[in-house]
Amino acid sequence: MRILVISNDKSLASLIVHGLHSSMPAGTMFSACDVRSGRDRLRMEDPSAVLVDVNSMHEGDAPEYVKALAPRYSVPIIAFYKGSTSVAALIQAGALDAIGWQAAEKGEERLIARLSASIMNSVNRVRVQTPEKTTPDTDKVIVIGGSTGSTQALPVVLKGLPADCPPVVCTLHMPEGYTKIYAEQLDLSLGQTVVEAKSGLYLKKGLVVIAAGGKHLRLFRDKNGYFVNSETGVKVNGHCPSVDVLFDSAAYAAKRSAIGVILTGMGSDGAKGMLDMKRMGAYNIAEDESTAVVYGMPKVAAENGAADISLPLDKIAGHIMNRLKQGK
């Protein structure tokens, strides 16, 4: 394992490297560099995780730096900061964690302990299962997000899809403890296999994955196909799981192979991520006002140009299947 620390504060970087030496597995290698050379060093060293000092940049520059550092989610990026910062902006930019600390008594010790735990969680967060296939099971993937009323709306969409439909990945605003039961109920009533998300789960046709309450759900892709990551994190747009987090990851993992759907819900979570999906070539559908219990999230997605079309709830599945049959 190799860890790269990016900070303009050489003393702090040295302290972190020294502290992590005693808490990380034997054989872990460390290196440090300043902000200016961070991207080049990342490419040269191919680290297992990157630690980024937010305070080494001008206020507000850190999210853009994280975006530019590497393709989103291609390497775990953990931001750390002293004082205050926009944690949501860092997570939105692609950081898997953002850790605050204070220069108080044992402040450095606490920072190192939290960094160590976050590194181990991040580098072990994916590929915990061995895929059954060595070639991708499908190229297409459907990602769905929603909030108020979406637990009733999602089954309507899923019932209109065949049992061998492309994999479906869903983030609904549901609390911890309820999503497993919800997935089990859907599994009993639908033709698809429905499960609660677990990190490292590879997708296949006919599989529906529901984000676990209290955990962000992200989509990834490698030579074996699509797989998901489910882990705790700070709230984004006031939610964990956040639809924007899922859609952002789908934009980069699936690009034009993704079909996005945003269902009924209050607020705007998902609209920005859906716009990222569209920019990467995805086709997006927003639920129409005529059927939405709360016309908030789909309204924003329609107004900001993220949605290609707005449809009544009972028309969404049929529209998806027509596009798939046409090879779109």
Q: Is 269 an annotated catalytic residue?
A: yes
- The SS3 of residue 99 is strand
Does the structure show a pLDDT above 80 at 119? yes
Which residue is catalytic, options 269, 276, 288, 310? 269
- Give a three-class secondary structure readout of 256-304: HHEEEEECCECCCCCHHHHHHHHHCCCEEEEECCCCCCCECHHHHHHHC
pLDDT in tens, 194-208: 999 998 899 999 999
CB 243, CB 171: distance < 8 Å: yes
Task: CATH 3.40.50.360 in the chain: give the residue spans.
Answer: 2-123
Which residue is catalytic, options 56, 173, 242, 248? 173
Which residue is catalytic, options 147, 150, 230, 268? 147
Distance CA 250, CA 50 (A): 22
Q: What would the mean pLDDT of 264-280 be, rounded to a whole number?
A: 95
Distance CA 308, CA 305 (A): 7
Domain 2-123 has CATH 3.40.50.360: yes
| CATH topology assigned to domain 141-325 | Rossmann fold (3.40.50)
Distance CA 79, CA 91 (A): 9
CA-to-CA separations, 23 to 19, 62, 165, 233, in angstroms, rounded: 7, 27, 45, 22
Task: CATH 3.40.50.180 in the chain: give the residue spans.
Answer: 141-325
C-alpha closest to that of 285 among 309, 319, 258: 309
Q: At what angle do helices 243-253 and 271-279 cross, to 10 degrees?
A: 10
pLDDT-derived band at 26 (thresholds 50, 70, 90) equals: confident
**230 pairs with which residues across the strands?**
217
Q: Is 147 an annotated catalytic residue?
A: yes
Does the structure show a pLDDT above 90 at 132? no
Q: Is 173 an annotated catalytic residue?
A: yes
pLDDT-derived band at 232 (thresholds 50, 70, 90) equals: confident
